[in-house]
């Protein structure tokens, strides 16, 4: 699929994820009490949770009748870049959920826009968010520093990869056969990955721990809360990152990870990994994922924001039902 000759922006990093769940209080309690994030703001049934890095928040939880992705937020460098991205998106006929402006309904503030990807996901591009002092190094506390990546179940992996590379300027770091593709916007091997699936949904959200020691301490800390890994610990082939997967009270999958490969933009060559047990888990410690975690990773169909976008762009969207 050809979307664009030139990307509309240069994204600097993945800032935060918004998840919509039926009981955000229960999820907030899990991420605050057990997972290691801190609740920094709330407004009725919306909660903002912070890690130890420099983002105001890395997770926003909202109330919704079924589990869904609220939005994925990426950082741009300036307001000029946001405005330029808006003009370029409009030229390409890509629907905006929100024109450039102050993000005054978000506790993290900022200036940004929101666009819709071909499967109805909301992508936010923002700048000028509230500064916070990073709590790093975190000592020996087993707390996440940032969102490492989000994996998106997608009904057409090639079209989604074309959109995120051509329009949003991401680069493909690796493929896992024709099942998954790993995309970067900075030196981290991936900040999103796309997974071919029967419907659109969030597969999982991964949180980066400061070191492998913090990663293991995090697993131990959850064990004290009576929470066991559903898959892991292990070390993936693509990205070379450690992994340990859990499910939150909403049934969404969350991951502790560390040591993701750092990419030299000029030297990196994209590869395709075979989906063998040795490459899925280099350590050989994790074994296969359980049926329960596989089912949680598949999630429920996310019909996204299709009902909220401007009319006249119906053919832009893929059918994920």
Q: In the complex with Fe ion, which residue's Cβ is closer, 62 or 255?
A: 255
CB of 128 to Fe ion, least distance (A): 29
User: By C-beta, is 110 or 239 nearer to Fe ion?
Assistant: 239
Among 19, 72, 206, 219, binds Fe ion (CB under 5 A): 206
Site string for Fe ion, 159-198 (x = CB under 5 A): ----------------------------------------
Per CB under 5 A, which region of 12-20, 77-85, 127-135, 253-261 contacts Fe ion? 253-261
Residue 53: closest CA among 44, 40, 43, 62: 40
Residue nearest to Fe ion (CB): 206
> Would you count residue 309 as binding Fe ion (CB under 5 A)?
no
Output 47 or 243, the one with its CB closest to Fe ion: 243
Minimum separation from the CB atom of position 29 to Fe ion (A): 23
Rounded alpha-carbon distances, angstroms, from residue 91 to 42, 111, 126, 166: 37, 21, 20, 14
Nearer to Fe ion, 106 or 255 (CB): 255
Residue pair 93/316 in contact (Cβ under 8 Å)? The answer is yes
From 80-88, 132-140, 203-211, 261-269, span contacting Fe ion (CB under 5 A) = 203-211
From 83-91, 206-214, 216-224, 308-316, give the range in contact with Fe ion by CB under 5 A. 206-214
CB of 72 to Fe ion, least distance (A): 15
Q: Residue 84: which residues within 8 A CB-CB, separation 6 or more?
A: 8, 9
- Residues numbered 65-84 forming contacts with Fe ion, rule: CB under 5 A: none
298: number of Cβ within 10 Å: 16
Structural contact between residues 53 and 214, judged by C-beta atoms closer than 8 angstroms: no
Distance in Å, CB of 2 to Fe ion, minimum: 29
What is the x/- site pattern for Fe ion, positions 119-158, by CB under 5 A?
----------------------------------------
CB of 245 to Fe ion, least distance (A): 8
**Distance between CA atoms of 171 and 161, rounded to whole angstroms?**
9
Rounded to a whole number of angstroms, the minimum distance from the CB of residue 38 to Fe ion is 23
Rounded to a whole number of angstroms, the minimum distance from the CB of residue 151 to Fe ion is 6
Contact residues for 236 (Cβ-Cβ < 8 A; gap 6+): 242, 243, 280, 281, 282
CA angle 6, 273, 212 (to 5 degrees): 95
Report how many residues bind Fe ion under the rule CB under 5 A.
2
Tell me how far, at minimum, the Cβ of 111 lies from Fe ion, in Å: 30
Nearer of residues 1 and 279 to Fe ion, judged by Cβ = 279
Binding site for Fe ion (CB under 5 A): 206, 255
């Amino acid at each position: 699929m050809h979307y664009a000759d030139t990307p509309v922006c240069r994204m600097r990093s993945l800032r935060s994820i918004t998840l919509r769940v039926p009981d955000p209080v229960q999820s907030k309690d899990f991420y605050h009490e057990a997972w290691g994030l801190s609740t920094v703001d709330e407004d009725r049934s919306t909660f903002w949770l912070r890690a130890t890095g420099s983002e105001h928040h890395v997770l926003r939880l909202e109330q919704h009748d079924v589990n869904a992705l609220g939005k994925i937020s990426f950082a741009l460098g300036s307001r000029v870049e946001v405005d330029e991205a808006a003009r370029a998106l409009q030229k390409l006929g890509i629907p905006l959920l929100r024109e450039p402006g102050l993000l005054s309904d978000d506790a993290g503030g900022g200036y940004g826009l929101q666009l819709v990807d071909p499967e109805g996901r909301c992508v936010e591009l923002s700048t000028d968010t509230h500064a916070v002092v990073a709590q790093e190094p975190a000592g020996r506390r087993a707390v996440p520093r940032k969102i490492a990546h989000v994996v998106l179940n997608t009904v057409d992996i090639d079209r989604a990869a074309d959109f995120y590379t051509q329009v949003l300027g991401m680069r493909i770091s690796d493929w896992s056969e024709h099942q998954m593709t790993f995309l970067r916007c900075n030196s981290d091997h991936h900040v999103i990955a796309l997974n071919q699936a029967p419907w659109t949904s969030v597969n999982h959200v991964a949180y980066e721990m400061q070191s492998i020691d913090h990663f293991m301490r995090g697993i131990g800390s959850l064990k004290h809360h009576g929470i066991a890994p559903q898959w892991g610990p292990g070390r993936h082939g693509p990205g070379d990152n450690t992994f340990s997967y859990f499910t939150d009270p909403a049934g969404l999958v969350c991951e502790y990870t560390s040591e993701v490969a750092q990419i030299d933009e000029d030297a990196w060559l994209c590869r395709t990994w075979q989906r063998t047990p040795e490459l899925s888990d280099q350590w050989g410690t994790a074994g296969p994922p359980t049926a329960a975690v596989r089912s949680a990773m598949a999630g429920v169909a996310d019909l996204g924001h299709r009902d909220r976008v401007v009319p006249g762009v119906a053919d832009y969207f893929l059918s994920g039902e």
